[in-house]
Amino acid sequence: MACARLLLLLLAAASAAPACYCIGAPHGAEAYQPYSTVIVDPDEFNTTTLGELTSQGKAVLAYINAGYAEEWRWYWPIAVQAGIVHEPTEYEGEHLVEYWSPAWRAILVNYTLSTLQQGYTGVYLDNIDAAEAIAELQPPWAQGVDPRQAMIDLVSNISSAAHASGGLVYVNIGAATSLLWDDRLLDQVDGVLREETLLTLQDTCKTRPADPAEALETLYSLLHAKANGKDVIAVEYVDNRLEAWIAWLVYATLGFKPVLQPACDPDYTRPPLPTPWAPWP
How crowded is residue 232: how many other Cβ atoms within 10 Å of its Cβ?
25
β-strand partners of 261: 237
Number of domains in the chain: 1
* CA separation for the pair 129, 135 (Å, rounded): 10
φ/ψ (deg, to 5) at 263: -65, -20
**DSSP letter assigned to residue 266:** T
**DSSP letter assigned to residue 25:** S
Kindly compute the dihedral angle of the four CA atoms of residues 214, 218, 220, 222, in this order, to the nearest 10 degrees.
-170
Helical spans, DSSP H, in the chain: 2-15, 47-55, 76-81, 102-118, 130-137, 147-164, 183-186, 212-227, 241-254
Residue 194 near residue 234, CB atoms below 8 Å: yes
Average pLDDT of the segment spanning 139-151 = 97
Q: What does the pLDDT read at residue 3?
A: 43
Query: The domain spanning residue 189 has which CATH number?
Result: 3.20.20.70
Model confidence pLDDT, tens digit, residues 67-97: 999 999 999 999 999 999 999 999 999 999 9
Residue 263 near residue 238, CB atoms below 8 Å: yes
Count helices and strands (H / E) in the chain: 9, 13
Domain assignment of residue 36, yes or no: yes
Average pLDDT of the segment spanning 220-249 = 97
Q: 13 pLDDT band (50/70/90 cuts)?
A: low
11: pLDDT strictly greater than 90: no
Average pLDDT of the segment spanning 188-197 = 98
* CA separation for the pair 230, 244 (Å, rounded): 24
Q: What percent of the chain has pLDDT over 90?
A: 89
* CA separation for the pair 106, 86 (Å, rounded): 18
Domain assignment of residue 121, yes or no: yes
* CA separation for the pair 170, 108 (Å, rounded): 14
Q: 224 pLDDT band (50/70/90 cuts)?
A: very high
Q: Which of 29-33, 143-147, 235-239 has the lowest mean pLDDT?
A: 29-33
Average pLDDT of the segment spanning 116-129 = 98
Q: What does the pLDDT read at residue 9?
A: 45
Domain assignment of residue 9, yes or no: no
Average pLDDT of the segment spanning 166-184 = 97
pTM of the model: 0.94
Domain assignment of residue 154, yes or no: yes
Domain assignment of residue 8, yes or no: no
Domain assignment of residue 139, yes or no: yes
Model confidence pLDDT, tens digit, residues 18-74: 999 999 878 889 999 999 999 999 999 999 999 999 999 999 999 999 999 999 999
Domain assignment of residue 53, yes or no: yes
Q: What percent of the chain has pLDDT over 70?
A: 95
Domain assignment of residue 113, yes or no: yes
**DSSP letter assigned to residue 60:** E
Show the domain range for 167. 16-262
HSE of 174, CA atoms in CB hemisphere, 13 A = 16
Residue 185 near residue 129, CB atoms below 8 Å: no
HSE of 33, CA atoms in CB hemisphere, 13 A = 4
Q: What does the pLDDT read at residue 258?
A: 98
Q: What is the mean pLDDT of the chain?
A: 93
